[in-house]
Amino acid sequence: MAKGRKRNVNVKRTQSGRASRAGAVPANMEAILLRMKMFGLSEKDARDQKAATFIGRMNLMDKKALISDAQYDAAQTYLELRDKYMRAISAPDASKQSGGATAGITSEEHSSWCQSQKVKYDAAIEAVRDEQGLHENRGANMWAALDYIVVRDEQHWHMVGDCRLALNALAHHFGILAKQKRHQLAA
């Protein structure tokens, strides 16, 4: 008689003798439990894909969402635009970024696409620059907040206010929030 491996007696078995998978913990449950413990999220929020980023977690926070839905959408749109811009200028890390390949298009089409992405990115940067230049925002560092919190996805609580200002400017620029008339401040 051939010897097989020893059967684990602590495992529940089905009628056929196979190990039962009923009641087994899903593979991603450990990650969900870790998010719940580290960030103080509910199970529902920990399962949301927004919980993977600092901006997303701030959007998910109960009753006191530090980042509104419009600001979150502006951050996502800015990241997509920045990714396209980085590919358009052939930045070294652009190959690591997500996005479609440019195979099958002519060099003229690629050139015009690159130019259009540069123009769109420059317009978004100008919107943040205008917001930064307002009298009440001169002490804010919106560029660092966008870079560290949105692009690098680092947790810097002292920059959240500046990031909110930058995301509001981007949300207005992208048309996510209705553009409001700004009054001219006396310099």
**DSSP 8-state code for residue 7:** P
CA contacts within 13 A on the Cβ side of 129: 6
185 pLDDT band, cuts 50/70/90, is very low
Q: Which residue has the tokens 């660092």?
A: 144
Most confident region among 40-49, 73-82, 106-115, 139-148 by mean pLDDT: 73-82
Amino acid at 148: Y
Rounded Cα distance between 128 and 23, Å, is 51
Tens of pLDDT, residue by residue over 125-160, are: 999 998 888 867 678 889 899 999 999 999 999 999
The answer to whether the beta carbons of residues 64 and 165 sit under 8 Å apart is: no
Q: Going by C-beta distance under 8 Å and a sequence separation of 6 or more, which residues neighbour residue 86? A: 93, 94, 97
Whether the predicted model's global pTM rises above the 0.85 cut = no
Domains of the chain by residue range: 67-174
Q: Going by C-beta distance under 8 Å and a sequence separation of 6 or more, which residues neighbour residue 126? A: none
pLDDT for the residue numbered 92 = 82
pLDDT for the residue numbered 9 = 74
What tokens appear for 183 in the block? 């009054």
Of the two residues 118 and 183, the one the predictor is more confident about is 118
Q: Going by C-beta distance under 8 Å and a sequence separation of 6 or more, which residues neighbour residue 169? A: 127, 128, 130, 131, 142
What tokens appear for 102 in the block? 């440019």
pLDDT for the residue numbered 177 = 82
CA contacts within 13 A on the Cβ side of 54: 17
**E strand or H helix at 75, and its extent?**
helix 69-88
| Mean pLDDT, residues 79-102 | 75
Rounded Cα distance between 70 and 59, Å, is 10
**DSSP 8-state code for residue 43:** H
Rounded to the nearest integer, the mean pLDDT of the chain is 81
pLDDT for the residue numbered 85 = 92
Of the two residues 10 and 148, the one the predictor is more confident about is 148
3-state secondary structure of 125: helix
pLDDT for the residue numbered 102 = 54
What tokens appear for 60 in the block? 């998910």
Tens of pLDDT, residue by residue over 70-88, are: 999 999 999 999 999 999 8
Q: Which residue has the tokens 């969402």?
A: 65
- Poorest-confidence range of 48-57, 149-158, 162-171? 48-57
